[in-house]
Structure 1
């Protein structure tokens, strides 16, 4: 180590070297920017506001929550994937999960990662928001969320949940709609179930103490419940719908998209690199997350991500259909193509270096 290098600087350089070596085998390519790519389609581009012209070297800082979670923004930052760009995260402190999309919709924060139905509902209500990158991919070995009960609860079948209390991290997201869809398919009267909001990092303890009867817990905290001797896992979202409802994408505020298109491209590029790195190095990713959230490594569940974070329509349409069926969205009010754009993803069109916006 050079004499003037600090331990944190050395650690950062080591992480960057690790990421560079790992990413070398992932085969990331860069895609050309077409005229259509120059702006985000749909609502986020509707204002027609000109892009902000920045001098070389100016830094654009995007406001982002600083939450204890498995999140690509933190990993991309830690691995140095924002280096070489003019864009950096500005962490504004912890933000409760149910508030993330509403705050992105108003511009209080510039980016946020939450489930598709929340974005659809916000968009339908007039929020200036659009999905700009795909997120997690549910695999059998890496579910988005898991369902736990106490071993002595007697709950083993969906019908057993009538009259019981289910804890999940927020209304209006995957835990509510994927679960209700599954339970109705199994003949359960969901009106006889009490649903309450419990943060993921508290869900295991709340279940163990008898305050809930079933806990739906997202990674990385679901791993701790898997190791709890008095709990048993019933299902994962992979068991319920093979992961169709498990994509937690990254959304951005429309004004930020219009004013800082190159910064959006920087963010999406960094997130895609980090996502592919996590897929190629799941154990190294778990170690970094363990350090961040101060959770013993054996309890940290892994994540998997959509390759290159390229958005496809089926996970969007899935939730449009669910929201319409639940009476939360007027039929035909929102089309899937309005909710998302791949215009800022340099990997979306297959391989060449991106042009400057």
Structure 2
């Protein structure tokens, strides 16, 4: 697994879809007055996504989720949504901006993950590693779930703040490592730095022998980092379905905030067991938060403006290439209207499952 300076300079281009590619796909929504009530999506192994939680809580009402497989990459997930292979996808906001810059007709509809004191991505080294600063990363390998997304963006910010030149930054080697193997790759010294988040991070910390170099929470504080997107065509043809979905996700965010921690974990464990994908539920005990900053995941614009400006400064997009107002909408999120927290379900106890 290697990377080059050329690959580094082409940051985020792996999600560069042309408008032609998207326009050649078929819409999921039914024609005429009919609207689809089934949403195809990709999940994450061993994890419970907000839509999955919303469905289990009954918030999706008559809308059904259809799992088509798992992903380990936000850019890949929103590509699938943009090309009509799925009906929604989620990614780091910089990836969403870059996709929109390629004239892909998509809209961000709700934030679904972020960084706070509980939910963050950390860049970990072995406890006895000599790496202490950004400059120490020159020539080193950093394992992350995908290139051109959240983990690489945070790494770039850390390196820039550490005073490295572009030529020096190009000598740092971000590598793709499946999340479930990242901790092992670090401990076996196949990489010098491991990007770990969520339950995989906390499980690794509980084992010991590693320490953080930095975290994205250290860099930017609490912020919503990624959004779910849907195509303009889907939103136009299926507005009621989109509203049910987005509102349900917003309600699930608030449920996860206000429900006792142990109860949330019990519910997630039950969901994973019921879906029967031969997944290990033990790491779920380390879940703490989805990290979404705003009530019900409503998008303020600042979480996208940050990456519009940053990508333009880097030269990845042209200034003015992306219009913030065209990039997102809160129209379908009635859960967050007025800034009030949505009501909890009538019964929050997990159902039994095998």
Q: What is aligned with 1:138?
A: 115
Q: Deviations over 1:81-133 (max 9, x none)?
A: 113xx321111122341410111111111111211111111111122211011
Q: Which of 90, 95, 117 pairs up with 2:71? A: 95
Indicate which of 141, 144, 148 corresponds to 1:165. 141
**2-structure distance, mates of 1:257, 1:164:** 44
Distance 1:152 1:163 in 2: 18
- TM-score (normalised: structure 1): 0.77
- Alignment counterpart, residue 302 of structure 1, candidates 280, 284, 289: 289
Specify the alignment match of 1:329 in structure 2.
317
Residue 339 (structure 1) shift? 1.1
* Alignment match, 1:200: 179
For 2:209 and 2:67, the matched residues in 1 are separated by: 37
Correspondences of 1:1-357 after superposition (within 5 Å): 52-54=32-34, 60-68=37-45, 69-83=47-61, 86-97=62-73, 98-140=75-117, 142-188=118-164, 189-244=168-223, 246-281=224-259, 282-290=261-269, 292=272, 294-296=280-282, 297-305=284-292, 306-350=294-338
SS of the residue corresponding to residue 114 of structure 1 reads: strand
User: Partners of 2:129 and 2:281 in 1: how far apart?
Assistant: 27
Question: Matches of 1:278 and 1:301 in 2, distance apart?
Answer: 9
Shift of 1:136: 2.2
Quickly say closer, same or farther: Cα 1:155–1:279, change in 2 above 3 A: same
Partner Cα distance (2:31, 2:93) in 1: 27
Structure with the bigger RCO (C-alpha within 8 Å, sep 6+) is: 1
The whole-number CA distance in structure 1 between the counterparts of 2:184 and 2:206 is: 12
1:351: how far off? Answer: 7.8
Q: Report the Cα offset of residue 59 of structure 1.
A: 6.0
Cα distance, 1:286–1:332 mapped onto 2, change above 3 Å: same
Alignment partner of 2:311: what SS? helix
TM-score after normalising by structure 2: 0.78
Cα contact 1:76–1:273 (8 A) shared by 2? yes
Q: 1:50 to 1:95 in 2, by over 3 A?
A: closer
- The Cα shift of 1:238 comes to 0.8
Q: What do you get for the CA RMSD once the two structures are aligned?
A: 2.5
Does the CA contact (< 8 Å) of 2:248 and 2:335 recur in 1?
no
Distance 1:328 1:143 in 2: 28
* Offset of residue 294 of structure 1: 2.0
CA contact (8 A) 2:114 2:225 kept: yes
CA distance in 2, matches of 1:200, 1:290: 19
Structure 2 unpaired stretches of 5+: 1-22, 273-278, 341-354
Question: How far off its partner does 1:181 sit?
Answer: 1.3
Provide the secondary structure at the position in 1 that maps to 2:235: helix
Q: Does the aligned pair in 1 maintain the 2:43–2:49 contact within 8 Å?
A: no
Residue 153 of structure 1 aligns to a residue in which SS?
Answer: coil
